[in-house]
Structure 1
Amino acid sequence: MMIKKTVFTLLFVIASLTTFAQVKIAFAEVNYILNQLPETQTIDTQLQAFETQLSSEIQTMSQQFQQSVQEYQSSSGTMTDEAKATKEGELQTLQQQIQQKQQEAQQKLQQRYAELLGPVRDKVMNAIETVAEANGYTHVFAKSISGNLIAVYPDVQDNSFSDMVLQELGVTVE
């Protein structure tokens, strides 16, 4: 409901502005722009390497867990109830450690993504502002990296503004 109010207010303001001044509006597809930048490909490569490293650590822990489970299963027939309970507790602890490691890995990956992409995102936003000013746009609506909309925009199939931003960034669009 809050989004609808915001959208209606925004549209009202834009409609009001058209009576006072010339309004020139553009739409920038941030993901489209980012996908064209060589920096993004470098970031993807770095993230894949980091993810491989994290996955390797988790895989090693999982293999150790599986080996411990097999050892327990093969020797549980000869173990006392106390020894079984101790070993089962150790296995549960190891399984919890693996789950915690997986959660930490996901958080680290997201953090690394934000660290690497932040400067590139800032560069794109600055280029959008430069292109908007140079071409007389009064409003630029952008779809953010996360997919959230900054404002409502028409179904635009034309990436001409985004292509101008890429040109400002020194990237040739094919």
Structure 2
Amino acid sequence: MKKMLFALFLLAAGFTADAQRYAIIDTKFILDKLPEYKDAQKTLDDMAAVWQKEIDALQQELDKMYRDFEAEQVMLSDELRRKREDQLFNKEKTLRDLQRKRFGFEGDLFKKRQELVKPVQDKVFNAVQKLAVARGYDFILDKSEGITVIFADPKLEKSEDVLKELGVKN
């Protein structure tokens, strides 16, 4: 899908390329040069390491519980075996919940990354917009993770024209 959109972009650019100005940036390179980004990354890495130790400790407890259960299972009554199986299940659930809470989508790490990194990314985005306006760029592409349009002059937006061509009415 991304390649198709980029191909459409190139096709549209070919028709209107006479006076348009382009620039390419590498946001990863830019971010890596910013001290506040490095500080945010270090804070996130430190937090992730602490949380990973917590999860590893729980995993070791669970592994020990499984080994003990396997060794004693033969000697346990049905009721005691079910009780131990429930304990194992609950411990596994606690571990999975903690992993999800810390590292899952919209987990603690995600939220902390938003809190620490997003302001730096916004600062870079604002600088890109300022540069685009000051130097008269119509498009600024980001090459750090494939080609992504990071700024486009709104007057060049032709999505409505494409929809009209396709016979789609808004």
TM-score, normalised with respect to structure 2: 0.72
Between 60-69 and 116-125, report the one with greater CA deviation: 60-69
Between 55-64 and 79-88, report the one with greater CA deviation: 55-64
Equivalent in the alignment of 1:113: 113
Structure 2, unaligned stretches of length 5 or more?
150-170
Q: Whose RCO is larger (CA < 8 A, sep 6+)? A: 1
Equivalent in the alignment of 2:124: 124
Distance 2:30 2:36 in 1: 11
Query: How many pairs were matched up?
Result: 146
Structure 1, unaligned stretches of length 5 or more?
152-174
Distance 2:2 2:61 in 1: 51
Between 44-53 and 120-129, report the one with greater CA deviation: 44-53
Counterpart check, 1:59 vs 2:56: yes
Equivalent in the alignment of 1:23: 20
Counterpart check, 1:93 vs 2:80: no
Give 3-state SS (helix, strand or coil) of 1:130's partner. helix
Between 97-106 and 73-82, report the one with greater CA deviation: 73-82
Counterpart check, 1:13 vs 2:12: yes
Equivalent in the alignment of 1:150: 148
Tell me by how many angstroms 1:99 deviates.
2.1
The equivalences for 1:162-173 within 5 A come to none
Cα deviations across residues 11-61 of structure 1 (Å, max 9, x unaligned)? 233233333xx3221001111111111111101111112112211321232
Give 3-state SS (helix, strand or coil) of 2:25's partner. strand
Distance 1:125 1:136 in 2: 16
RMSD value, Cα: 2.4
Distance 1:43 1:24 in 2: 34
Cα deviations across residues 86-132 of structure 1 (Å, max 9, x unaligned)? 11221122123212222222122223223221111110011111222
1:113 maps to amino acid: R
1:17 maps to amino acid: T
Equivalent in the alignment of 1:68: 65
Equivalent in the alignment of 2:43: 46
Equivalent in the alignment of 1:135: 135
Tell me by how many angstroms 1:70 deviates.
4.3
